[in-house]
């Protein structure tokens, strides 16, 4: 399988097949769902398929086969690639069966053909692709019934139904990629979803930043059954005390950076970021347009005023980094982000999620494409971390200062191309997951990565500062404005 997020020209959403088994946190606490592995696996695969169908049934044949951006594959490529990876890993590898269409492997190998070149491949048409997915799924269900997926199964791929969970995450990651394609598509809207809940009443009272005390915490996991190789193993990391924005940086705060001439002042930008912003002519987040003194944005085919209180979206790492410098702050490191999201100072252990170990519910976070936008900054008090930080999971991916690197003791599983080939300084880590990320891939150890110039992904950020750096103070949470 390939990692959708990475492979090829764009690194974007993550879809890809993935890897490893492991679990979360070094601490006790049972991990994973209370459901038996085959039940959980089937439910996860079915949830992914319903979303795949929603994203591909909502457009006509032309939109399925067209390339809406050279950054993305035609939707019909993602569709059949989902089936091909499922055939490879669940039918052939896990089931030991001959498979249905091994002749398609080269067409849907993401490493073989960059996204920009995929329209030229001999792709299955929409009807053929749908029939193929259904036929593969039928065999997958038979395999799932016939293999032992218990925790004591010696074959690591099968234990706790890992490989089935890996494929459910793979399909959901391609669904996120397809959602990004929908956002890039030009034409009338075809997707619809309810609005997220309004901001809770206490938003105006939130502190602008929260304090994370210094000390060691457990990063990564060795117990979460469906964790991927790059999340393993659990290990102790010393993180000095720091301050972190209570909520992600908002559109309103980001617009202040623009109004203050942020895109014209090289002092705020990393040298390579400054070169990029000049060459690419960037003046605002992707999908924003000037409207008099204000801004509008295009969102899944609709044009609307940019909502000031919503976390900013579609900014690249360089823009996030420049904003933070302008604000007298910096991006948090990946370890700082994870400590803020998981460490419980009361018990000393790392949680699966900011709110605890329970799987995400609608009260905790904006996930799963339930809504087609981030919720207002300060939403989801029930999903707050022990520090009081909100929306660490859901709403927007958050850029961190860190390059994508292996944890000490990393071992590629089940194949090197999931993570190993991407480690290094070319990619920056994103954490937390956006509104289009499925709960099955939103645990707080999950790591995403992309090029620092990427903007079509659903990424925003929050800022941090060292304990000794002045700033902060009481003021209301406004998503990291100048302080």
In the complex, least distance from residue 368 CB atom to Fe ion, rounded to whole angstroms: 19
In the complex, least distance from residue 169 CB atom to Fe ion, rounded to whole angstroms: 10
In the complex, least distance from residue 115 CB atom to Fe ion, rounded to whole angstroms: 11
Q: What order of strands is seen across the sheet that includes strand 459-460?
A: 448-450, 424-431, 397-404, 459-460
Could you tell me how many residues of this chain bind Fe ion (CB under 5 A)? Answer: 4
Is residue 62 marked as binding? no
Instruction: Name which of 16 and 191 has its Cβ closer to Fe ion.
Output: 16
Is residue 314 marked as binding? no
Examine residue 228 and tell whether it contacts Fe ion (CB under 5 A): no
Instruction: Name which of 178 and 459 has its Cβ closer to Fe ion.
Output: 178
Instruction: Name which of 173 and 366 has its Cβ closer to Fe ion.
Output: 173
Is residue 116 marked as binding? yes
Is residue 115 marked as binding? yes
Is residue 78 marked as binding? no
Is residue 106 marked as binding? no
In the complex, least distance from residue 70 CB atom to Fe ion, rounded to whole angstroms: 18
Is residue 120 marked as binding? no
Instruction: Name which of 323 and 415 has its Cβ closer to Fe ion.
Output: 415
Stretch that binds Fe ion, among 3-11, 212-220, 396-404, 439-447 (CB under 5 A): 3-11
In the complex, least distance from residue 98 CB atom to Fe ion, rounded to whole angstroms: 22
Examine residue 80 and tell whether it contacts Fe ion (CB under 5 A): no
In the complex, least distance from residue 170 CB atom to Fe ion, rounded to whole angstroms: 6
Examine residue 113 and tell whether it contacts Fe ion (CB under 5 A): no
In the complex, least distance from residue 8 CB atom to Fe ion, rounded to whole angstroms: 10
Which residue carries 């609307």 as its tokens?
A: 304
- Quick note: the x/- pattern for Fe ion over 9-48, rule CB under 5 A, is ------xx--------------------------------
C-alpha angle 154-229-457 in degrees, rounded to nearest 5: 140
Among 4, 233, 248, 332, indicate the residue that binds Fe ion (CB under 5 A).
4
Is residue 134 marked as binding? no
The residues binding Fe ion (CB under 5 A) are 2, 4, 15-16
Which residues line the annotated binding site for gamma-L-glutamyl-L-cysteine? 115-118, 450, 454
Question: What are the binding residues for Fe cation?
Answer: 81, 170, 174
């Amino acid at each position: 399988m390939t990692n959708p997020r990475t492979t090829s020209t764009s690194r974007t959403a993550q879809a890809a097949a993935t890897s490893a088994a492991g679990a979360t946190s070094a601490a006790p606490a049972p991990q994973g769902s209370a459901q038996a592995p085959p039940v959980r696996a089937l439910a996860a695969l079915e949830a992914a398929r319903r979303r795949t169908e929603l994203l591909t049934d909502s457009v006509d044949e032309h939109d399925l086969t067209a390339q809406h951006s050279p950054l993305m594959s035609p939707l019909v490529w993602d569709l059949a690639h989902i089936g091909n990876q499922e055939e490879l890993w669940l039918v052939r590898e896990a089931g030991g069966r001959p498979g249905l269409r091994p002749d398609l492997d080269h067409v849907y190998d993401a490493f073989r053909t960059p996204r920009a070149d995929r329209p030229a491949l001999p792709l299955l048409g929409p009807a053929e692709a749908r029939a193929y997915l259904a036929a593969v799924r039928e065999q997958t269900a038979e395999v799932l019934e016939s293999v032992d997926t218990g925790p004591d199964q010696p074959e690591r791929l099968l234990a706790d139904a890992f490989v089935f969970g890996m494929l459910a995450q793979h399909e959901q990651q391609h669904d996120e990629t397809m959602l990004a394609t929908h956002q890039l598509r030009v034409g009338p809207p075809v997707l619809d979803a309810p609005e997220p809940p309004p901001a809770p009443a206490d938003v105006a009272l939130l502190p602008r930043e929260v304090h994370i005390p210094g000390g060691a915490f457990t990063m990564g996991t060795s117990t979460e059954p469906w964790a991927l190789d790059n999340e393993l193993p659990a290990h102790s990391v010393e993180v000095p005390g720091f301050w972190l924005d209570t909520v992600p940086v908002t559109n309103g705060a980001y617009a202040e950076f623009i109004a203050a001439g942020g895109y014209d002042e090289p002092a705020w930008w990393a040298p390579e970021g400054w070169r990029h912003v000049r060459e690419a002519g960037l003046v605002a987040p992707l999908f924003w347009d000037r409207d008099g003194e204000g801004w509008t944005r295009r969102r899944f085919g609709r044009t609307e005023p940019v909502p000031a209180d919503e976390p900013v979206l579609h900014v690249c790492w360089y823009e996030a980094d420049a904003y933070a410098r302008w604000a007298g702050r910096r991006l948090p490191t990946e370890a700082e982000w994870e400590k803020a999201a998981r460490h419980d100072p009361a018990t000393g252990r790392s949680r699966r999620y900011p709110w605890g170990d329970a799987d995400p519910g609608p009260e905790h976070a904006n996930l799963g494409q339930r809504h087609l936008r981030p919720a207002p900054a300060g939403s989801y008090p029930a999903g707050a971390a022990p520090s009081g930080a909100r929306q660490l999971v859901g709403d927007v991916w958050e850029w961190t200062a860190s390059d994508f690197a292996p944890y000490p003791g990393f071992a590629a599983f089940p194949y090197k191309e999931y993570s190993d080939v991407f480690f290094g300084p070319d990619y920056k880590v994103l954490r937390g997951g956006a509104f289009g990320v499925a709960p099955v891939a939103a645990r707080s150890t999950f790591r995403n990565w992309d090029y620092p110039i990427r903007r079509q992904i659903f990424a925003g950020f929050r800022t941090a500062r060292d304990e000794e750096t002045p700033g902060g103070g009481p003021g209301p949470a406004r998503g990291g404005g100048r302080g």
